[in-house]
Amino acid sequence: MRIKKHPVVRKIEGEVERTLGDFGYELVQLKFGGGGGGRTLTVLMDSPDGVAADDCQEMSRRLSLLLDMLDPIPGSYTLVVSSPGLDRPLTRDSDFERFKGQQAAVSYRSPGGSRATERGLLRGVADEHVLLEVEGRAHEIALTDVEEAHLVYDWDAESV
């Protein structure tokens, strides 16, 4: 996948990922954005046992110390540490295989250059393509064309 990353994210991603890993967490996504006093560094983390508010608070404290040491962002910004939530972003090629069998939305650039989004059942990855079943029909989307993807929580399945 070729997701564009802010220069700040490219600069600190490895250190943030290592720090989370040292405490048993996986870095799902790291985003930096906003302007002026509204700049935000967002860290989405997960673990096999899930992530509680206390986990986020503790990792926020630890990551603040790391970021103070690295000092990658001039000026002020807000650090947000959170779980990925029900609509977990799919940020690595391996995520498409890992979450096979779940509903997902995949946004991509079509060969003609227009942006499209498909929503369906994730069937994994084969030959550098995301496999998605949409209304009973198979769709293949080249990983190099994927711009963004996330799980889609099926609320109807829970209302039984």
**pLDDT one-digit tens code per residue, 4-17:** 788 999 999 999 99
Q: Would the pLDDT of 157 be above 90?
A: no
Interstrand relation of 78-82 and 40-46 (parallel, antiparallel or unpaired):
parallel
Task: Judge if 28 and 58 occupy the same domain.
Answer: yes
Domains identified in the chain, total number: 2
Task: Judge if 101 and 77 occupy the same domain.
Answer: no
% of the chain exceeding 90 in pLDDT? 77
Confidence grade of residue 37 (pLDDT, cut at 50, 70, 90): confident
Task: Judge if 28 and 55 occupy the same domain.
Answer: yes
Amino acid at 16: V
Task: Judge if 13 and 78 occupy the same domain.
Answer: yes
Length of the chain: 160
Task: Judge if 112 and 144 occupy the same domain.
Answer: yes
Task: Judge if 53 and 103 occupy the same domain.
Answer: no
- Please give the residue range of the domain that contains residue 30: 7-82
